[in-house]
Amino acid sequence: MYAIGERINGMFRAVAAAIKEQNPEPIQGLAREQLKAGAQALDVNVGPAAAEPLAAMEWLVKAIREVTDAPLAIDTTKPEVMRRGLELSGPGAIINSAKGQQEQLDVYVPMAIEYEASLIALTIDENGIPRDANGRSEIALRAVAAAMEKGLPTDRLMIDAVILPVNVTQPTPGHVLEAIRSVKLLSDPPPKTVLGLSNVSQGTTQRELINRTYLVMALAAGMDAAIVDVLDTELMDAMITAELLMNRAVYADDFLKAYRASAAG
């Protein structure tokens, strides 16, 4: 699984404080720690409270680039902040994210092409989040069509079928799994699938258990990538074990260590 580390996000108090004080050390520490724990890319979000999101994004990306060349998932809803983030992080970045309505796809698909980035497309449009799997697939198809039309390779498109907290809507986890399966049939090569995993457990009392159980279910359904807390060791252990059980890694008694040795390299 392609793991995108979620911790550099202004919603976390320590990150917000670091941004405010322009203190790069906590940010760089989080970058290093997450990569060491198995992240292949780092999500970068200035948070809702940032006074000047553009300046905050510039500062964050520059601070991270001092310690790593790993791909960054620029996480913002503002196109100008996205553009600047992509510029500073270089080719191979991830746009996180575009919604599925045509106006947004018209902005972000060309941006992904221009900056040699991947694009996360959410299955949300002007009508909101669909109630079922079919509605999600329809929006995904719109994103796939936009990518094909404008020339973004479909395997650089990542469909996020939008998971909601299980205590808010209990049918959604099932719908999302169904959508992950059906999205794979939309094109050849198929789009990738991704989830912002931690949302599934928002507001519950068993967050880690719910996260890792659902991660394994989504992997079994064919999910390729997830934005996760890679510092949650049990979550990563569950992911590594799922990959093993799906024959994506060769077994060894120390298969957890083996996975981490490979990820670290």
Q: x/- string (CB under 8 A) for other proteins, residues 71-90?
A: --------------------
Query: Taking the complex as a whole, how short is the minimal distance between the CB of residue 251 and other proteins, in angstroms?
Result: 5
Of 148 and 258, CB closest to other proteins: 258
CA distance 219 to 66: 33
- Provide the angle, in degrees to the nearest 10, between the axes of the packed helices 79-89 and 102-114: 20
3-state SS of the chain: helix, strand, coil percent to 5? Answer: 50, 15, 35
Of 94 and 176, CB closest to other proteins: 94
DSSP 129: S
CA distance 247 to 55: 45
Of 41 and 122, CB closest to other proteins: 41
Of 205 and 247, CB closest to other proteins: 247
What's the Cα-to-Cα distance from 130 to each of 124, 138, 175, 181, rounded to whole Å?
Answer: 7, 9, 10, 16
CA distance 217 to 39: 20
CA distance 172 to 164: 7
Query: Taking the complex as a whole, how short is the minimal distance between the CB of residue 247 and other proteins, in angstroms?
Result: 11
Question: Quick one: CA dihedral 183, 186, 98, 129, positive or negative?
Answer: negative
Which two three-digit tokens encode residue 234?
């049990």
Query: Taking the complex as a whole, how short is the minimal distance between the CB of residue 264 and other proteins, in angstroms?
Result: 8
Query: Taking the complex as a whole, how short is the minimal distance between the CB of residue 248 and other proteins, in angstroms?
Result: 8
Considering the rule CB under 8 A, would residue 265 count as an interface residue with other proteins? yes
Which two three-digit tokens encode residue 145?
């069509």
Which residues inside 216-255 make contact with other proteins, applying CB under 8 A? Answer: 249-255
Strand partners, 123: none
- With contacts defined by CB under 8 A, how many residues of the chain interact with other proteins? 12
Query: Taking the complex as a whole, how short is the minimal distance between the CB of residue 99 and other proteins, in angstroms?
Result: 31
Of 131 and 248, CB closest to other proteins: 248
Considering the rule CB under 8 A, would residue 21 count as an interface residue with other proteins? no
Q: Which of 20, 62, 150, 257 binds other proteins (CB under 8 A)?
A: 257
Query: Taking the complex as a whole, how short is the minimal distance between the CB of residue 214 and other proteins, in angstroms?
Result: 26
CA distance 22 to 60: 9
Query: Taking the complex as a whole, how short is the minimal distance between the CB of residue 153 and other proteins, in angstroms?
Result: 14
Of 22 and 262, CB closest to other proteins: 262
Positions touching other proteins (CB under 8 A) are 249-255, 257-258, 261-262, 265
